[in-house]
Amino acid sequence: MSIGELTNMYRDGELIIRPEFQRFYRWSDTQRSRLVESILLGIPMPSIFVAQAEGGKWELIDGLQRVSTILQLQGELKDTPPLILCGTKYLPALKGRQWMTEDEDHSLSEAQRLDVKRSKIDIKIIKRESSPEAKYDLFQRLNNYGSSLTAQEMRSALLVAVSSDFFAWIEKLASRESFIACTLLSDRLIDERYDLELVLRFLFLHAKPKRELTLSSLKDFSQVLDDKSVELASEYPRHSVKLEKVFNATFEHIATNGGDDIFRKWDPVRQEFKGSFLNTAFEVFGLGIGYHVSEGSPYRHDLVSVAQEFWTKLSSGFATGKSTEARLVQYIPRGREITAAGLEQRAADIAGHRQ
């Protein structure tokens, strides 16, 4: 298909690029300009993959960077300013040029615009009869070849394809003030959507039976999380009301009783919480409290002292050499134990409830 035809499909709403996918459009202007250079030089582009929806429309599955660049070049990509090109190795005169402006010296020539429109793109169509699982598996395999996406960015794209409503829901959970206040992730981690990975880890692991917390069942954890996330998305909104209540109650409790200190490491020498967010702390205290909230069992309110005691007893090399799976198997059960309320706390909770 020609780029002109593909552009018309996008303009007419027949080619769908979900808004959620836009966040993954992160090529630099230099990378975009090189693609335009390749098109103008007649270098064939790799195939793009689309999934055919029930109504016959196409949904972009692979090729986001290329298709988005082509649309942005023409000023057609929604909510995105037109592309201003950089000079390239073989076409340095592209520097500062756009698709078409009032100033011809800053526009592509008419011949160049026609060359772009007439250039062909090979399109692979995943038929509507294909199972959702086949589409997700294909997307994952395609993005494993030289992709710069993080595991969660790839997972997010999968989830958008499974259920955009589910993806919007986990984004809502990640935007809870209490969750943000507790985790205080760096800008880089948020940009890579690690906040969404933490939400998915919580949903998957907080109530998982202890007998299923084994090295074998969690082997290749990233893939396990992929599979469980797709399962949750496929079943959405089943269980979502209860899960949201547990999630909100957990992080409201942590935010009120220690906040981001609970997810940092306590230094018994300096007598202070140090550093940034730690996965181990999240698995111990976040998943521990989440377990008790889900089970309806009493849990500790003095989380700061619990965290201080936990880190004081733990050796300094607590995470050295541990795989994700080994860490989860060790610390999730430990977190459930130390966050469980004792008799004194339970009596206070009961008294407070009666009042």
Q: Give residue-wise pLDDT tens across range 196-228.
A: 999 999 999 999 999 999 999 999 999 899 999
Single pTM value for the model = 0.69
Percent share of the chain, pLDDT over 70: 86
Confidence of residue 351 (pLDDT cuts 50, 70, 90): very low
User: Are residues 276 and 348 part of one domain?
Assistant: yes
228: its two tokens: 């469980």
Residue 337 has pLDDT above 90, yes or no: yes
d(CA 232, CA 200) in angstroms, rounded, equals 9
Position 259 in a domain:
yes
User: Are residues 167 and 126 part of one domain?
Assistant: no
Mean pLDDT of 231-250: 96
Q: Which residue has the higher pLDDT, 197 or 342?
A: 197
User: Are residues 169 and 99 part of one domain?
Assistant: no
279: its two tokens: 């996965």
Q: Which residue has the higher pLDDT, 150 or 259?
A: 259
185 φψ region: left (φ > 0), alpha (ψ -120 to 50), beta (else):
beta
User: Are residues 167 and 29 part of one domain?
Assistant: no
User: Are residues 228 and 169 part of one domain?
Assistant: yes
User: Are residues 211 and 111 part of one domain?
Assistant: no
Most confident of 45-49, 92-96, 135-139, 149-153: 92-96
Residue 298: other Cβ atoms inside 10 A: 18
User: Are residues 121 and 181 part of one domain?
Assistant: no
d(CA 12, CA 237) in angstroms, rounded, equals 31
d(CA 61, CA 137) in angstroms, rounded, equals 11
Lowest mean pLDDT among 67-71, 132-136, 183-187: 132-136
Q: Which of 328, 236, 244, 219 is CA-nearest to residue 284? A: 328
Helices (H), 163-193: 164-174, 177-183, 187-191
Confidence of residue 20 (pLDDT cuts 50, 70, 90): low
Residue 19 has pLDDT above 70, yes or no: no
User: Are residues 329 and 233 part of one domain?
Assistant: yes
Instruction: State the average pLDDT for the chain.
Output: 87
User: Are residues 247 and 188 part of one domain?
Assistant: yes
Lowest mean pLDDT among 124-128, 172-176, 272-276, 282-286: 124-128
Position 167 in a domain:
yes
d(CA 50, CA 18) in angstroms, rounded, equals 12
Q: Which residue has the higher pLDDT, 218 or 315?
A: 218
**Each residue of 38-89: pLDDT tens digit?**
999 998 888 888 888 778 889 887 788 899 999 999 999 988 899 999 999 9
Residue 180 has pLDDT above 50, yes or no: yes
Angle between helices 164-174 and 240-256 (to 10 degrees): 20
Count of residues in the chain: 355
Residue 27, CA distances (Å) to 37, 64, 65, 74 in order: 15, 10, 7, 16
User: Are residues 163 and 42 part of one domain?
Assistant: no
Q: Residue 56 is part of which domain span?
A: 3-130
Position 135 in a domain:
no
340: its two tokens: 């469980």
Residue 353: other Cβ atoms inside 10 A: 7
| Number of structural domains in the chain | 2
Q: Which of 136, 21, 106 is CA-nearest to residue 71? A: 21
User: Are residues 193 and 64 part of one domain?
Assistant: no
Q: Which of 63, 106, 64, 50 is CA-nearest to residue 82? A: 106
**Residue 106 CB partners (closer than 8 Å, separation 6+):** 96, 97, 98
Is-contact 67 48, C-beta < 8 A? yes
Position 136 in a domain:
no
